[in-house]
Amino acid sequence: MGSGPIGVGGSGAASNCVVDGSTGATSGGGVGGGVNGSGKSCGGGWKWQQRHLRLVSSGFVFFLGCFVLLGSIATLYAWLAFTPPYVRTDGGVSSLGCQEDNEGSWSIGVFYGDSPFSLKPIETANVWRNETAAWPVANPVITCASVSNAGFPSNFVADPFLFAQGDIIYLFYETKNSVSLQGDIGVAKSVDNGATWQPLGVALKEKWHLSFPFVFEHLGKIYMMPESSRKGEVRLYRAVNFPLKWELDRVMLKKPLVDSVIINHNGMYWLLGSDHSGLGTKRNGHLAIWYSSSPLGPWRPHKRNPIYNVDKSFGARNGGRPFFHDGSLYRIGQDCGETYGKKVRVFKVEVLTKDRYKEVEVSLGLEEPVKRRNAWNGIRYHHVDALKLSSGQWIGVMDGDRVPSGDSVHRFLLGCVAFAVVAVLVLLLGLLLGAVNCIVPMNWCIYTSGKRSDAILTWEKSNLFSSKVRRFCSRVNRAPSILRSWVKSNTCTGRLVLAILFVFGVALMCTAVKYIYGGNGAQEAYPFRDHYSQFTLLTMTYDARLWNLKMYVKHYSRCSSVREIVVVWNKGTPPKLSDLDSVVPVRFRIEEKNSLNNRFKLDPLIKTRAVLELDDDIMMTCDDVERGFKVWRQHPDRIVGFYPRLVNGNPLQYRAEKYARTHKGYNMILTGAAFIDSQFAFQMYWSAAAKPGRDMVDKIFNCEDVLLNFLYANASSSQTVEYVRPAWAIDTSKFSGAAISKNTQVHYQLRSDCLNEFSKLYANLAARKWGFDGRKDGWDL
């Protein structure tokens, strides 16, 4: 029989893998020996099995070692780069709620304006609510967390519609049930014009997906027309016990329309919706119209249907309730170009008759979100509903998302691809180093395994595919020797190639971990009592530290809850605002006197109760800042910060954080990175009682933060400071050479002098001490 039937020549190169760089050969004519049972054939014989076992063992050990090494590096990277998955709700959300969902993480915000074209987010209205520690209230106002904490597990909320009854405003919305994973219709109510909302429960639930709860009133009855495209119908429900009990009134159309609305215009009722089921229909680019003399039907199709069957970015699909303003009708559409629900577009309807339809696009006047994933609506917003209140003011609701559609699956796939490329790089390293000599073990091929009958050999001889497979495997297994002849690992060039491959492997491994385990990349705000708020960021600097300031403003302006950055400019000429890369307003407060007391000066232009005093040379994550803000909202009467100190001894001595850690407690927080109550702290700092302390601060140009701690302690016998541990913090002054306190020993001695002087004037801090790890959140370890 010889080698002819196999079709790869008589050398037997395809019979087994290269183990020591030479070609393994068969004895007795290759395949024929296998048929005769000589034990020398491909896939047969204990010697070959031993060689193959050693081959597999060495290759396995190499792969295992490489992945352990790369995995350790990636784990270290994850520990340094990813902040812990802190719980973002009070007491934690129900384990069923707020699960990561491939459809997104939609939430709902409130807007106010004098018209639907001048709507501004609620935080600009400066609405304060003490019961939720929101000074001011900030968007979003309804989230999966607030709904889940009310007892209705939800992954996200979207498609909001308003309905007013007297002074009560109801909000209907889609809530994706965390158990059934289908859309239900939820409802909440507000008695303070939309500043705060109370989730009431699920208003409507069916066996199929529901969304887009278009609610309207007709002849004293309240109706809801939610999207029921999964049912294949446009169904109309009537309120039996508003707002939580509804029953089916009728089926309007036997069509699977999505996002349908009804408007009363020129004595007729018009139903606008999109049907994506038709052949040739462009998804999210379709719009059709029906008309009737009653909002209850029957409905007749428009003569120009479909009105649109265009690109999905055009805005054909409805994105909210049409509205009238100054006698004109406006339709809201969705731009789904880059991702589903990217943004809304508004069209002024110029002609709407039984045989004609014409509209032109106009600007809604909404400011585009600029904080990207750190903002609740930073990536997309696809629904707006505006309502004119009895006061004449307009209120609007909008849904928004911080991630694009399919983000979780996209990240997982990218991570898997990165892992696969790492495996290829490890294989390549093994080949170059000689640890891996076989790419495709020939016993994987059924044509080389064990004894075969004459019938099988006859089939192989006539089977071209078998020959090609063996020839391909043979050539692939020659790659190690070819690669090692090109790149020799004992040369400088070879070592460089190996180093580059290893670095690429590390980078890709870290990338894979980031995509799969690093989350969506957002550093969100933390709610307190299911509500959000904002704070003012204040720093004090001068012209020699401009490099620090630029980096500082660019980074912190992107943090979710930062409303404004105030720069107290103590010396020199301030930069132009255009020199700073900021997405929030930046205000320079020019001071006549270079004094550290300026840090706590009364400022009537600050619109938030919370102020984060943060030195311009401290860089930490936005997540750390947001955690500190939440803790301050829980304890607004305290200094909440990131650098603890323990003051004790006789005389009192100022020491570093290590001393506080060793003695397991603290009684002072440095205000170089701390949240304070702007009203309480600033007034107290500039009181007559604080004047001796301020004079000492001016005299030695130090200790303004020490003084504020003493003033807080003097004003209360309870705990006045609270510590939050940051994931990491960097002092950038060490890179710029513009550090204020370069001589640590002199700096500490000045502060010790302050401690002893202030203890004579105010309360004694040494009598107080609070331990670490005293809160349930675990943020003060």
Contact by Cβ (8 Å): 537, 508: no
Q: Rounded to whole angstroms, what are the CA distances from 710 to 327, 647, 651, 760? A: 62, 11, 16, 10
**What's the rounded Cα separation, in Å, for the pair 381 and 383?**
6
Contact by Cβ (8 Å): 260, 212: yes
574 upstream amide cis, omega within 30 of 0: no
**What's the rounded Cα separation, in Å, for the pair 759 and 741?**
23
Residue 27 tokens, joined: 């004895």
Query: DSSP states of 623-676 as a string?
Result: HHHHHHHHHHHH-TTSEEES-EE--BTTTTB---HHHHHHTT-BSEE-TTEEEE
Of 184, 130, 122, the C-alpha closest to 157 is 184
Residue carrying the six token digits 């960097």: 730
Residue 162 tokens, joined: 């308003």
| 332: CB partners within 8 A, 6+ apart | 318, 319, 320, 321, 322, 323, 344, 345, 346, 347, 364, 383, 384
**What's the rounded Cα separation, in Å, for the pair 488 and 17?**
21
Q: Between vectors from CA 107 to CA 516 and to CA 330, what angle results, nearest 5°?
A: 125
H/E stretch holding 535 = strand 535-541
Candidate list 705, 731, 777, 780, residue with the active-site label: 705
Amino acid sitting at position 116: P
Contact by Cβ (8 Å): 116, 330: yes
Amino acid sitting at position 99: Q
**What's the rounded Cα separation, in Å, for the pair 172 and 704?**
51
Contact by Cβ (8 Å): 760, 653: no
Q: Longest Cα pair distance anywhere in the chain, in angstroms?
A: 110
**What's the rounded Cα separation, in Å, for the pair 417 and 411?**
10
CA 543 to chain centre: 35
Amino acid sitting at position 327: G
Assess whether 705 carries a catalytic annotation.
Answer: yes
Dihedral class, residue 326 (left if φ above 0, else alpha if ψ from -120 to 50, else beta): left
Contact by Cβ (8 Å): 196, 137: yes
Residue 257 tokens, joined: 């329309």
Instruction: Please list, residue by residue across 78-96, b when 16 or more beta carbons sit within 10 angstroms of its beta carbon and e when fewer do.
Output: eeeebbeeeebbbeebbee
**Coil, helix or strand for 705?**
helix
Helices marked H in 477-527: 479-486, 492-517
Q: Which residues are catalytic?
A: 705
